[in-house]
Amino acid sequence: MSEIKLQPASKGINGTLSVPGDKSISHRSIIFSALAEGTSYISNFLTGEDCLRTVQAFREFGVEIKQEGTNVTVYGKGLDALRAPVNPIYFGNSGTTARLMSGVLSALPLFSTAYGDPSLSKRPMDRVVVPLSEMGAEITGRENGKFLPLAFNGKKLRGTSIEMQVKSAQVKSALLLAGMLAEGETVIYEKGTTRNHTEMLMSQYGISLDKQGNKLTIAGNQQPLASNLTVPGDISSAAFFIAAAAITPNSSICIENVGLNPTRDGIITALKKMGAQIEVDQVKKIGHEPVGRVQVKTSKLKGCTFEGELIPNLIDEIPILALAATQAEGTTHIRDAKELRVKETDRIEAVVSNLRNLGAEVEPTEDGMIIYGKNKLTRGSVESYGDHRIGMMGAIASLITDGTVLIQDKDCINISYPNFFDHLEKVCK
């Protein structure tokens, strides 16, 4: 297992960064481009392991996809040119690939099977299998399709009305993709607002979709049109350096070309509520996505309560928010985040155990945690549990400890941020 020893940042962290492309948008750009007829060009694509699983999935269907660094060319030949894969499709650790591709694989008239690594094989798939079955999907798998591996007897689905049972952009996206390919109209009722990258990209790729509040209506028998796309920097990756600058003495960081989608910027809202000195400038739009610059300086933070509608907008950033809370004066409560228990690992337990190992006073709850600040963090060891965001949280924690921090399984960070340690070294100089 890979590991790395990190030292505190005695001089603070300073400089300018451009983080890798957004993971959510990178996945979706491949899906729409591969289903389209015509050539699509994608720049600033995230070359992390998760997104490459989506690339390989469509290569198994016969789609030609060329990658040169962060530039990807997808030679789409339309839906009729797709062929049934000979081998089972491997989703690795990618929950996004598994959930979104389930919507596609169910609706293509081809047989396919898919499996994942041990971590992904524990994550619930029934949240997509059950509503897809309401559209006529034929999906079989372990424990009646609750877990991978799954088999898809692909067929023409029928549009229907679905009321979602969970707040999940992945489930919503799977249903929208299935509805796009189905016969008739599909109506989806969300439980609450979730990230809207799929809706944004549908517009860019020529897919007709109507959204009225939490009601989404999509007509069937639609095929995407080839498009060119630049992927904004991933705010979930930027969040680690934003929080790092806020809690590390003598620090000032500027992150450029980062996505500022209002369904994703909850980490900025949360840190500002805690008193972080953050300035945000939207400088342009890439497609329908707002993109800009985020500047943050060392700040005096105070404990807060985070719950309700804000939580889905920062669900992936809660590990780094919890770390920031250890440096805040007073108590921080994180609630309504039970979804963390079915991520790459049980992130509530992973965050709590690792922060405790470093000297923080943290208490788990059923749907979140309580962080008692302000804590002086100590040297120690961080177990990533194969979860990239836990590994990065530990690495940022090392900046403010009193000695060496050992990060175990550092390679899992390649899932979303392949050059993370290069960037960390750059700002620590």
| Residue among 358, 303, 348, 319 at smallest CA distance from 239 | 319
| Residue among 54, 114, 11 at smallest CA distance from 400 | 11
Which string of DSSP letters, residue by residue, matches 266-327? Answer: HHHHHHHHTT-EEEEEEEEEETTEEEEEEEEE----B--EE-GGGGGGSGGGHHHHHHHHTT
Q: 14-17 and 252-259 as β-strands: parallel, antiparallel, unpaired?
A: parallel
Q: 209-212 and 289-297 as β-strands: parallel, antiparallel, unpaired?
A: unpaired
Whether residue 316 lies in the annotated active site: yes
Tell me how many degrees the CA angle 137-26-100 measures, rounded to the nearest 5: 10
Tokens 């470093």, located at residue: 358
Which string of DSSP letters, residue by residue, matches 323-359? Answer: HHHTTSBEEEEE-S-GGGGGSSS-HHHHHHHHHHHTT
Q: 139-141 and 277-286 as β-strands: parallel, antiparallel, unpaired?
A: unpaired
Provide the β-strand partners of residue 162: 188
Instruction: Please give the sequence-ordered ranges of beta strands (E in DSSP) within 129-204, or none if there are none.
Output: 139-141, 147-153, 161-163, 185-189
Provide the β-strand partners of residue 330: 373
Asked if 314 and 271 touch (Cβ cutoff 8 Å), the reply is no
| Residue among 325, 295, 294, 302 at smallest CA distance from 400 | 325
End-to-end CA distance of the chain: 28
Cis peptide before 85 (omega within 30 of 0): no
Query: Which of 316, 387, 411, 422 is an active site residue?
Result: 316
Side-chain-facing half-sphere of 101: CA atoms under 13 Å: 31
Active site residues: 316
